A and B are shown apart, each in its own frame.
Chain A
Amino acid sequence: MPDPHVVSNAVVALLFGGGVAAGVFVRRNRLWREAAGELWRRRPLALLVVALYVLLALADSVAWVGGVEEGADVVATHEPRSLVDRAFSRIAEPQASYSAPFAEAEFYAPYRPLAHPGRHPLGTDILGRDVLHLTVKGARVALLIGGLTSLIAIPLALLLGVSAGYFGGRIDDAVFFVMSTLASMPGLLLLIALIMVMGRSTLSVCIALGVTSWVGFSRIARGETLKLRELDYVQAARALGVSEPRLLVRHLLPNLMHLVIITFVLMFSGLVLSEAILSWLGIGVAGSWGQMIDQARDELSREPVIWWNIAAAGTALFGLLLAVNFVGDALRDTLDPRTLRERR
């Protein structure tokens, strides 16, 4: 099992390749290209913001060992550090403590006040870690949660929903049974239970989130499949002798893709928020904004009030989700097949 950072680098490379391939596809296919242009016209700012977060997340995912500056401790030399880490090259002092934004010196130190060699634009936390650094790293965690979980939940939901809608009968009953059972359980409790069982690694949290959030989209996929199945062009394809697997792949899936994309984007924000709640309960993913917020809870009641870490994490979270929601709404309008029909 290779080191986590090696896996991470590989995934980034894959994503990059995938992104390029998607770009080429959109460029060549007129329908998608027009939709992309339309999307850019409507929400350029939101798209840029999302792109920024994605870039930061990718930067934090590319990590390697070595290249440590003078005077750092032995542990640091053998830790893989990402691009983001390297940008914030200052490594925390062993006895460092809080520092307010742009402060010259620490305060609240158990020992004599230490002067900081550099300023921290957003202050530091109790361990002297730069808050901006932590916030930027949180982007990676957020996107990981949203992305990995969706990668688990959406294909599962699609498979089950489309099967239920297309084949009907017993398959529909079975899927419906599972869906209804899951939907009747309190989501949060189920989530906690799953995490307790599977452990608290990032992967298990993502799996748990995936298992508890596929039902919504599955219902939508099923409904849409039921509708599409009766449309004339599907009937015409059957009359043309098209085999069923090909019908599903060639006719149903492409006409569900717009829903998949929209759901992915909108589910994303729900997932990130869910993780924030999990962190608040102490079982979230390490390094997420939710965790930052949770750790900052007590500090609001100190004197003087330590507000900058919770503000930074909260703003970053809010910013991402706001942008994602704007993009999601614009996507929904752009990819609606009805507007497709009228755009001549």
Chain B
Amino acid sequence: MSATGGDALLRVEGLRTWFPIRRGLFQRTVGWVRAVDGVDLEVQPTRTLALVGESGCGKTTVGRSILRLVKAQEGRVWFDGVDLLRLPPRELRPYRRRLQVVFQDPGASLDPRMRIREAVAEGMRSFGIGGDEAERTRRVAGLLERVQLDPDQMGRYPHEFSGGQRQRICVARALATQPDLVICDEAVSALDVSIQAQIINLLRDLQRELGLAFLFITHDLRVVRYLADEVAVMYLGQIVERGATRRIFEDPQHPYTRGLLAAVPSVDPQRRSPPPQVLGDVPSPARPPPGCRFHNRCPEVFERCRREAPALYPSATGASRCFLSEGR
């Protein structure tokens, strides 16, 4: 159950997505990359949940598993009372309409040989939205305007636009099917700071206007603080801390979250960051450390951490996967 109560729009339970490592002559499976290893999360309607973590933590795989672009081994993805993972492909299609995505690289997200009018209308066409061509063109014009692009340019190709503009086109494309939830997979990470601001404002405005929910996958904590209502922090395939954004940022419980927040360089000229607390490199997701997965980099490690893996305990600000929060 979420902290805010009410029925979640999207609820993920026990998601596990493992990728096989094949070696040898007969391509035997010698191990597994545990990209997503038991993830639970919830997104409330019209709210934003940020899924944060560094590279290799599995956040992008969570997004793709939910969209069934990648096959999850275990878990349930409840959307409006239906488990999306168990649906046969034909029955899944109508749900795709309500669950859209914006990817990171504006250069690769648009087919270079398709005019943007076709690209934005593609979702409409596959779900039969908008009766005929003329109607669809009208809607495309409307969508382009909403993302602050000139509708007269709909006959152009993606390479004729800048990165920020292409990302707006991707947003327009995602909106074309009138979704309830949009998964933003590092949607602003590849953009310049000033363009980032424009796209973030756009997403905020659209959320207010259309009542959209966002699952915002990112590594940039500064954007999270600004944009998300709730945040879930991931490390090596698991959620290590979760809660309302403001409280997590003010009082992080998990040592990883604390280290992550401390590592973000501050722009305040009066303040310089403390020395880095999280040392060493991220272990490989194919061979996570025993016990608590963070123990070999944790500044507050003790004996138990090396042997036992902590569960996600309720904490002062939400939930934290750390023995320090146990029994609160």
Residues of chain A touching chain B, judged by Cβ–Cβ distance below 8 Å, are 30-31, 231-233, 235-243, 246, 250-251, 254-255, 337, 340-344
Using a CB-CB cutoff of 8 Å, which residues 68-108 of chain B contact chain A? 69, 93, 96-97, 99-101, 103-105, 107-108
> Do A246 and B126 form a contact, CB below 8 Å, given A241-B97, A341-B159?
yes
Residue of A nearest to B67 (CB): A239
> Complex formed: what's the CA distance from A12 to B177 in Å?
48
**Are B111 and A251 in contact, CB atoms less than 8 angstroms apart?**
yes
User: 27 A-B residue contacts at CB 8 Å?
Assistant: A232-B103, A233-B108, A233-B109, A235-B103, A236-B109, A237-B111, A237-B122, A239-B69, A239-B99, A239-B100, A239-B101, A240-B123, A240-B177, A241-B93, A241-B97, A241-B123, A241-B127, A242-B126, A250-B114, A254-B111, A255-B111, A255-B112, A255-B113, A337-B112, A337-B113, A342-B159, A344-B160
For B105, B111, B114, B126, the residue with the greatest tally of chain A CB atoms inside 10 Å of its CB is: B111
Q: Which 6 A-B pairs have CB atoms at the shortest separation, nearest pair first?
A: A240-B123, A241-B96, A232-B108, A232-B109, A241-B126, A232-B103
> Complex formed: what's the CA distance from A55 to B319 in Å?
77
> Do A343 and B159 form a contact, CB below 8 Å, given A232-B105, A236-B103, A236-B173?
yes
Residues of B within 8 A of A242 (CB): 122, 126
> Complex formed: what's the CA distance from A344 to B159 in Å?
7
> Do A341 and B97 form a contact, CB below 8 Å, given A240-B122, A254-B113?
no
| B51 on interface, CB distance cutoff 8 Å | no
Nearest-CB distance from A338 to chain B (Å)?
9
| B212 on interface, CB distance cutoff 8 Å | no
Residues of B within 8 A of A344 (CB): 159-160
Nearest-CB distance from B322 to chain A (Å)?
35
> Do A31 and B126 form a contact, CB below 8 Å, given A239-B67, A240-B100, A241-B96?
no
**Are B157 and A31 in contact, CB atoms less than 8 angstroms apart?**
yes
> Complex formed: what's the CA distance from A341 to B113 in Å?
10
| B49 on interface, CB distance cutoff 8 Å | no
> Complex formed: what's the CA distance from A240 to B170 in Å?
12
Given contacts A231-B108, A344-B159, list 11 more A-B pairs with CB under 8 A: A233-B110, A235-B69, A235-B101, A236-B170, A237-B122, A239-B69, A240-B100, A241-B127, A242-B126, A243-B126, A341-B159
